[in-house]
Amino acid sequence: MKRLAVYCGSASPEDTRYVELARQTGETLAKRGIGVVYGGGRLGMMGALATGALEAGGEVIGIIPDKLAGSEVANNDCTELHIVKSMHERKQAFTDLSDGFLTLPGGVGTMDELWEAVSWAQLGYHNDPVGILNAFGFYDSLIAFRDHMAKVGFIRPAHQGIIIADDDLGTLLDRMAAYEPHTPIFAMKAEDL
């Protein structure tokens, strides 16, 4: 993995562990030689992620919609900052520029990005690993819900391993690096669906 799209919140939660987690994640990725592709903001967890990576000598590529860039939240310290017209273009750039997807704690936008990465993997628009860092048990309920969807039959057996979740960043990155692509829906026969 040369670059990971990292999804996280632009907020700064009261619990300072989250912002520090983002900073440490950026630093760890840089030390492993993995570039960061992220939302291009300078605030909250996004800003901490970029700062951690940049201070450790890493590559940071920000992708930000023009409406947000114009409101002075863009991080001009990035190695590269791409200003795009829409959220769709932003998410497409995440996919085009990355070798995988890493999700840190976040809110609605983070969930949107995570589920699109999973959906696109399931369909076959990419075959890259999708990781969730379940720090502080933040994603326990989401992981349980994913398991429930699989148990009920809404996630096919071939796709149940798309999401790789772990509470330890190093272990998660190792598991993502070892990921073997699944069979996407586009490659399946009708009787397998």
Q: What is the pLDDT of residues 100-149, one digit of tens each?
A: 999 999 999 999 999 999 999 999 999 999 999 999 999 999 999 999 99
**Contact between 64 and 40 (Cβ < 8 Å):** yes
- Residue ranges making up the domain that contains 102: 3-192
CA distance readout (Å), 51 to 6, 55, 64: 13, 6, 16
CATH number of the CATH domain containing 25: 3.40.50.450
* Average pLDDT of the segment spanning 26-55: 97
**Token pair in block for residue 77:** 């310290």
pLDDT tens digit sequence for 162-179: 999 999 999 999 999 999
What local confidence, expressed as pLDDT, does residue 20 receive? 98
What is the count of structural domains for the chain?
Answer: 1
- pLDDT band for position 71 (cuts 50, 70, 90): confident
CA distance between the termini of the chain: 30
